[in-house]
């Protein structure tokens, strides 16, 4: 079941949903979702340094870019980057979350997640956004702008397997590169 705005407020008060910094609910809460803002750290792929990405090998395929002073990031057509939410998000084991793009951002050609739109029970950390520009014009993205929305779903029972204990990206504070090389292929 998807949580309504009433339930989201209740779960925030009860600590089942944790958002820091606290959102302005008058601006960021909709009928069944909560908006998050874009952080100021990005990972840009080093196209000129690597000719291929090998998921079996741990390598530095990206470089970290940290924006300050209100500077925007230019996302060019066909470009894929990793971003981060400004907010740290935590959910208890009775919930999971879906990350959806904001319609206003999508209408510019920006997709905020490629495949990882699901947040498992027990997650706590900043959310990495898999940002692509599928349009034909470059788009400026500003840290602090509303970039995505969270849709909270209740589970039929609390999960026994918590992401906080098992997840590769648990507690992340920045946009981490893929850790697929840790998996046995």
Question: What's the confidence (pLDDT) of residue 17?
Answer: 98
Question: What's the confidence (pLDDT) of residue 68?
Answer: 93
Question: What's the confidence (pLDDT) of residue 115?
Answer: 78
Question: What's the confidence (pLDDT) of residue 61?
Answer: 84
- pLDDT at position 13 over 90: yes
For residue 150 the two structure tokens come to 């969270």
19-58 residue pLDDT tens: 999 999 999 999 999 999 999 999 998 877 777 888 888 7
Neighbours of 105 (CB within 10 A): 19
The answer to whether 128 touches 84, Cβ cutoff 8 Å, is yes
75-128 residue pLDDT tens: 999 999 999 999 999 999 999 999 999 999 999 999 998 777 899 999 999 999
**Domain extents for the chain?**
5-51+58-159
Question: What's the confidence (pLDDT) of residue 159?
Answer: 87
pLDDT-derived band at 149 (thresholds 50, 70, 90) equals very high
Q: What would you measure as the largest C-alpha separation in the chain, in angstroms?
A: 50
No. of helices (H) and no. of strands (E), the chain: 4, 12
Question: Tokens 């039929």 — which residue?
Answer: 156
Task: Calculate mean pLDDT across residues 145-157.
Answer: 96
Say which residues have a Cβ less than 8 Å from residue 77's Cβ, sequence separation at least 6.
109, 133, 134, 135, 136, 137, 138
Please identify every residue annotated as catalytic.
Answer: 130
The answer to whether 41 touches 65, Cβ cutoff 8 Å, is yes
- 83, β-bridge pairs: 129
Specify the pTM: 0.90
The answer to whether 99 touches 112, Cβ cutoff 8 Å, is yes
Task: Calculate mean pLDDT across residues 60-83.
Answer: 93
Question: What's the confidence (pLDDT) of residue 30?
Answer: 96
Domain 5-51+58-159 classified CATH 2.70.40.10? Answer: yes
Q: Say which DSSP state 4 is in.
A: P
- pLDDT at position 182 over 90: no
Question: What's the confidence (pLDDT) of residue 1?
Answer: 94
155-181 residue pLDDT tens: 999 988 777 666 767 777 878 777 777
């Amino acid at each position: 079941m998807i949580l309504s705005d009433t339930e989201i407020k209740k779960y925030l008060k009860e600590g089942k949903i944790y958002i820091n910094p606290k959102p302005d609910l008058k601006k960021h809460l909709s009928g069944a979702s909560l908006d998050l803002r874009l952080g100021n750290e990005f990972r840009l792929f080093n196209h000129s340094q690597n000719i291929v990405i090998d998921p079996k090998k741990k390598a530095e395929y990206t470089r970290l870019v940290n924006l300050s002073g209100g500077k925007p990031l230019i996302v060019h057509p066909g470009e894929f980057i990793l971003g981060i939410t400004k907010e740290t998000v935590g959910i208890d084991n009775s919930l999971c979350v879906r990350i959806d793009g904001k319609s206003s951002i999508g209408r510019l050609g920006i997709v905020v997640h490629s495949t990882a739109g699901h947040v498992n029970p027990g997650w706590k950390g900043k959310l990495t956004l898999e940002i692509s520009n599928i349009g034909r014009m470059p788009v400026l993205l500003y840290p602090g702008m509303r970039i995505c929305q969270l849709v909270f779903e209740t589970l039929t029972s609390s999960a026994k397997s918590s992401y906080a204990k098992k997840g590769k990206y648990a507690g992340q504070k920045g946009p981490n590169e893929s850790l697929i090389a840790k998996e046995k292929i």
